[in-house]
Amino acid sequence: MTARSPANADRWPGTVVAIQANFSSVQLDASNATAQPDSGSLKLLCVRRGLLKKLGQQVMVGDRVEVEQPDWQDRRGAIATILPRKTALDRPPVANVDQILLVFALAEPTLDPNQLTRFLVKAESTGIPIQLCLNKQDLISDQQAKHWQHRLADWGYRPTFVSLRQDSPQVDALTAQLQGRISVVAGPSGVGKSSLINRLIPAQTLRVGAVSGKLGRGRHTTRHVELFELPQGGFLADTPGFNQPDIQCSPEALGDCFPEIRQRLADQSCQFSNCLHRDEPGCVVRGDWERYDYYLTLLDEVLAQQQTLDEQRNAEATEKVKVSADGKLQHEPRLAAKKYRRPSRKARNQAFQEICYDLSDAEDLSQLEDLEDLGLE
Ligand SMILES: Nc1nc2c(ncn2[C@@H]2O[C@H](COP(=O)(O)OP(=O)(O)OP(=O)(O)O)[C@@H](O)[C@H]2O)c(=O)[nH]1
Ligand SMILES: [Zn+2]
């Protein structure tokens, strides 16, 4: 985390840990502690400076920001700068994620290689590094653990085996992997994600980390993403948003989501550069490896998806689909030029309400110009 420099002495660096409506909860860096007593590990409820709004810059959970004019008493401030993002996940919407912590159980529920593959491919498709954690080691024999270790090594993964029922030293190894990083926890239901988070973040921290007032929504609502600070530094995002592993990537990109394929293509090349590794001649990927059939199944899925998308795009280009009062789809020709269409009354009202909401928080009056832009003055 960056320390404050004299040049930006009135700006306080921090990380956005939650967003609700127009407010961001910003956890200030611990390095601020010397400048303001009690400001380290302090959260401020912040609005966006008017200029950021004019530039159309949205704040995301995980964003590194600089806060101005902190009101230490009321714990409020204004976000003056959003620093460039290293990464930006879509679902869940979190910026600067360093790794995805994928949690599965070795038993109860039974470790299903097909389901694990779907989650792994989904995680790989983001391009963000993956840490695989296999929990409930206490429920299987050493021999079974070895079997999974070798099997997953063939897939290209080196998981951390843990048991949250026992004092597992491997949990410390996991702690070290998470330190100083932003990690998103993902995995199916019942594998022990909550148990792991409770182990990694003692109850005290969680209580302190809980948002209040205007930000106070449950941490398990789908829209809500929140980062929890780890005692050793770093943040964990626990979110259900990631947990439907619907694979959305192009057929050409799917191969990149399998370490086995990456490995084969690192050593040699297929005859055709756009090879999808099915039945093309001169393919170096096709062959006798465990997950090849899973690859083919997922390939069929993404090919079907792409076809649907192409059809939708073609239809959208020439016509508009509307749902009539009796639930039937109606096709209408598309209006030629956008500028002749007035925004709907609903859209204008919504935009108006959003701006009023902002104004009621008295950020500054420059947003009145936004009203003019919308023709609502
Ligand atoms: N035997 C055993 N049981 C465990 C272990 N870790 C968690 N459990 C149990 O597994 C069950 C599910 O754990 P949770 O932590 O709620 O799992 P989760 O992944 O958060 O589940 P969801 O909230 O449904 O997503 C609970 O009954 C835990 O007590 C473990 O290491 N060994
Ligand atoms: Zn090929």
- Give 275-288 pLDDT, tens digit per residue: 999 999 999 999 99
In this prediction, residue 335 carries a pLDDT of: 59
Element (H, E) at 170: helix 170-178
Q: How many other C-beta atoms are found inside a 10 Å radius of the C-beta of residue 317? A: 8
Element (H, E) at 310: helix 292-318
Mean pLDDT confidence for 92-120: 95
Closest C-alpha residue for ligand 1 atom 7: 192
* Alpha carbon of 109 to ligand 1 centroid (Å): 10
Average pLDDT, the chain: 80
- The domain in which residue 300 lies consists of 251-319
Q: Count of domains in the chain?
A: 4
Cβ contacts of residue 64 below 8 Å, gap of 6+? 13, 14, 15, 82, 83, 96
pLDDT greater at residue 349 or residue 76? 76
In this prediction, residue 213 carries a pLDDT of: 36
pLDDT band with cut points at 50, 70 and 90 for residue 166: confident
In this prediction, residue 242 carries a pLDDT of: 52
In this prediction, residue 55 carries a pLDDT of: 84
Label residues 267-282 b or e (16+ Cβ within 10 Å = b).
Answer: eeebeeeebbbeeeee
- Residue 87 in any domain: the answer is no
- Residue 150 in any domain: the answer is yes
Closest C-alpha residue for ligand 1 atom 30: 136
**ipTM surpasses 0.90:** yes
Residue to probe by mutation, ligand 1, list 164, 166, 228, most atoms within 8 Å of CB: 164
- Domain identity same for 131 and 219: yes
Mean pLDDT confidence for 35-50: 75
pLDDT of residue 368 exceeding 60: no
- Residue 325 in any domain: the answer is no
- Domain identity same for 145 and 18: no
Label residues 53-88 b or e (16+ Cβ within 10 Å = b).
Answer: beeeeebbbbbbbbbbebeeeebbbbbbbbeeeeee
- Residue 129 in any domain: the answer is yes
Residues belonging to the binding site for GTP are 135-138, 187-195
pLDDT greater at residue 328 or residue 3? 328
Least confident of 68-72, 133-137, 243-247, 264-268: 243-247
Using the atom order of ligand 1, give the atom closest to the CA of residue 163: 31
For 319-365, the DSSP string reads: EEEEE-TTS-EEEEEPPS-GGGSPPPHHHHHHHHHHHHHHHHTT--G
Mean pLDDT confidence for 270-275: 96
pLDDT of residue 156 exceeding 60: yes
- Residue 199 in any domain: the answer is yes
- Residue 330 in any domain: the answer is no
Mean pLDDT confidence for 73-94: 92
Type of residue numbered 197: I
- Domain identity same for 371 and 313: no
pLDDT band with cut points at 50, 70 and 90 for residue 370: very low
In this prediction, residue 169 carries a pLDDT of: 84
pLDDT greater at residue 53 or residue 301? 301
Residues belonging to the binding site for Zn(2+) are 270, 275, 277, 283
In this prediction, residue 138 carries a pLDDT of: 96
Of 190, 207, 242, which residue constitutes the final position of a domain? 242
